[in-house]
Each structure stands twice: as C-alpha cells, then as structure tokens.
C-alpha cells in the first residue's frame, strides 16, 4: 500500500480514512486531527496555559508531545498514587520522558495529602477505581485552578469516548448525555476540561507513540480489574471492522445532532453545589467526596 499523501511505502493503514500513510505523513495526519479538535471545540485560545494530566501511558505522553509540537504552552502533572511496585516505576519513567523532551512536569503524591491509594482501598467499601478516579480528577482540577491554567487536557481517545457514549445511551442517561463532549467549559472552581485526542483511536495513538519513539508505560495497574468499557470497545471494534469509519461517524453525529437534545435535562438534573467546608471546592454535601474519603482513611 502507498502513502495517500506522498506515494511512498505506507507504514500505517487506516481503513476508516480509506488511507495509508508513511511515518512522516502519518505524523502530519495525527497533528491535523488534534488541530481540528482544538479549533472546532474552542479548546485552547492563543497564549493560554494548558495542564496535561500525565499518567505515563501512551495517550497522555502522545498528548504532551503533539500539543507541544502544535505550539501550545503545556505543563504536565503526574499523580503518584503510592501503589507498591507500580507508582514508583511509572513516575520515574514519566519524569525521565519529560526531562529528556524538555517538558515541565509536576508530581503530586496522594500519600502526602493522606490519600495513598492502598490505604484508601483498605478504608472504603467500594470499587477502588471509582474512588481513585474521583481523587485524581479532584487534584488535577485543583492544581490547574490554583496555578492559573486555563484548561486541563486529558488523553481520552475516540475509543474511550465512543465506549462512554454507548454506555450512556444504553442507560439513556440524559444528564450525562447532555454534558459529554470534547470540551467542558470552566465553571467556578472547575477549569475547562478538554480532550484533544478525541478524533484519534487507540490504534492511531499507539502507532504515533511507536513511530515517535515515545517510551510509555505499558503494564496495567495492579488494582485494575481490566480496562473500563472493555466489552463496549470490543463491540465497536467489530462494527468498525465490518464498516470502517463508524466510530468517528457515531461520535461526531452525536455532537452535531444528539447532544443538544439532552442539554436542558443536564441543566435541570445537575445537583446544586456549594463549597466544601474543608477544601472549598464544589460539593453536593457539607464535605466533598474527596474530603469524606480522607476522613475515612484517617479514622
């Protein structure tokens, strides 16, 4: 197969785009998809500072790389979760990557704020990933807000977004359907959330990392019970195989024609939030979810 753009031998075949690309042209394609996402969904205004949530996996490192190559002012934040045999090597690899590539990186240790994940796991009687996710979201947002970042960028890709959308559709969860999208505007102490990789699949992000020599962390977290929405992702992989282009078409059509119908329900369904008595961040009760978990761990 020949590269659609320059006619050289293709290295990456993309049936959904009816194209194959050589390494150089694939990188251009990848950057173009991110540029389109950023422009269409008003993700980053010129000169704005962006905080990138960096887990050390392929999506977040690819995101740092591509946003920086597109000229955006990016800084990474890695949340060290204190998980034995996992958090130290992931953090070391992430720090090494950022150092070698000249990216500013901050590391926040949840153990320093009374929330080392093994202790949280022992204290709560809920699936740990939901709790861990809540803690990470809180600190990513808090760090961005307190350090003057205009936006918080996460590495969610098209497969993540389609699987989430499908799960919301299966439940006809109008509140979530009304707010799902690549950009969530800022509100009070919540900074703008953006997903610049939403037009790129997991395969495309992995190919980008491979071709760019991005040495990302590959092992799964020891507490993970498998990636989220695995079944839904498999379903859509089969659909995509049978009919290339379905994933992006499904998601873009939702954004263009579906989401607006749920926006009102989303506004009505949202809980009234007040400042948490302990940390001051928006909360549905006296204490926010994270401060309640911290109190539970401290007991």
Is residue 105 close enough to count as binding Zn ion by CB under 5 A? no
Q: Is there a contact between 108 and 16 (Cβ–Cβ < 8 Å)?
A: no
The correct pick among 279, 282, 296, 297 for binding Zn ion (CB under 5 A) is 279
Site pattern 230..269 for ligand SF4 (x: CB under 6 A):
----------------------------------------
Is residue 291 close enough to count as binding ligand SF4 by CB under 6 A? no
Helix (H) or strand (E) holding 282: strand 282-283
Q: Is there a contact between 80 and 93 (Cβ–Cβ < 8 Å)?
A: no
CA distance 4 to 99: 35
> What is the CA angle 227-15-166, rounded to 5?
40
Residue 224 touches which of Zn ion, ligand SF4, none (CB < 5 to 8 A by kind)? ligand SF4
Is residue 223 close enough to count as binding ligand SF4 by CB under 6 A? yes
Is residue 278 close enough to count as binding Zn ion by CB under 5 A? yes
Is residue 288 close enough to count as binding Zn ion by CB under 5 A? yes
- The Cβ of residue 33 has, within 10 Å, a number of other Cβ atoms equal to 22
- Taking the least distance from each CB to ligand SF4, the nearer of 109 and 212 is 109
- DSSP summary character for residue 154: -
Q: Which of residues 115-154 bind ligand SF4 (CB under 6 A)?
A: 117, 128-129, 132-133
Site pattern 232..271 for Zn ion (x: CB under 5 A):
----------------------------------------
Helix (H) or strand (E) holding 229: none
Is residue 64 close enough to count as binding ligand SF4 by CB under 6 A? no
Residue 98 touches which of ligand SF4, Zn ion, none (CB < 5 to 8 A by kind)? none
Is residue 297 close enough to count as binding ligand SF4 by CB under 6 A? no
H-state helical runs in the chain: 23-40, 58-69, 87-101, 117-123, 128-146, 158-170, 174-177, 202-212, 230-242, 246-253, 260-269, 289-298
Half-sphere exposure of 167 (CA within 13 A, CB side): 15
Binding site for ligand SF4 (CB under 6 A): 81, 117, 128-129, 132-133, 221, 223-224
């Amino acid at each position: 197969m020949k590269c659609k753009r320059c006619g050289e031998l293709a290295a990456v075949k993309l049936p959904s785009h009816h194209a194959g690309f050589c390494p150089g042209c694939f990188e251009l394609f990848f950057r173009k998809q991110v540029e389109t996402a950023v422009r269409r969904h008003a993700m980053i205004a010129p000169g704005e500072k962006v905080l990138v949530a960096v887990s050390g996996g392929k999506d977040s490192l690819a995101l740092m790389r591509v946003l920086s190559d597109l000229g955006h002012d990016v800084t990474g934040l890695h949340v060290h979760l204190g998980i034995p045999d996992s958090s130290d090597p992931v953090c070391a690899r992430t720090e090494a990557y950022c150092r070698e590539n000249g990216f500013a990186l901050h590391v926040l240790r949840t153990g320093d704020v009374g929330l080392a994940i093994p202790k949280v796991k022992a204290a709560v009687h809920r699936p740990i990933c939901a709790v861990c996710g809540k803690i990470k979201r809180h600190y990513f947002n808090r760090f961005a807000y307190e350090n003057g970042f205009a936006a918080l960028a996460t590495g969610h890709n098209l497969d993540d977004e389609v699987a989430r959308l499908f799960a919301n559709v299966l439940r006809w969860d109008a509140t979530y359907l009304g707010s799902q999208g690549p950009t969530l505007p800022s509100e009070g102490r919540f900074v703008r959330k953006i997903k610049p990789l939403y037009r790129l699949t997991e395969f495309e992000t992995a190919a980008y990392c491979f071709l760019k020599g991005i040495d990302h962390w590959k092992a799964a977290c020891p507490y993970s019970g498998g990636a989220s929405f695995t079944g839904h992702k498999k379903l859509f992989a089969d659909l995509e195989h049978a009919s290339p282009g379905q994933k992006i078409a499904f998601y873009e059509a939702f954004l263009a024609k579906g989401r607006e119908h749920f926006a009102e329900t989303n506004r009505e369904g949202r809980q009234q939030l007040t400042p948490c008595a302990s940390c001051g961040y928006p909360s549905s009760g006296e204490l926010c979810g994270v401060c309640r978990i911290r109190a539970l761990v401290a007991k």
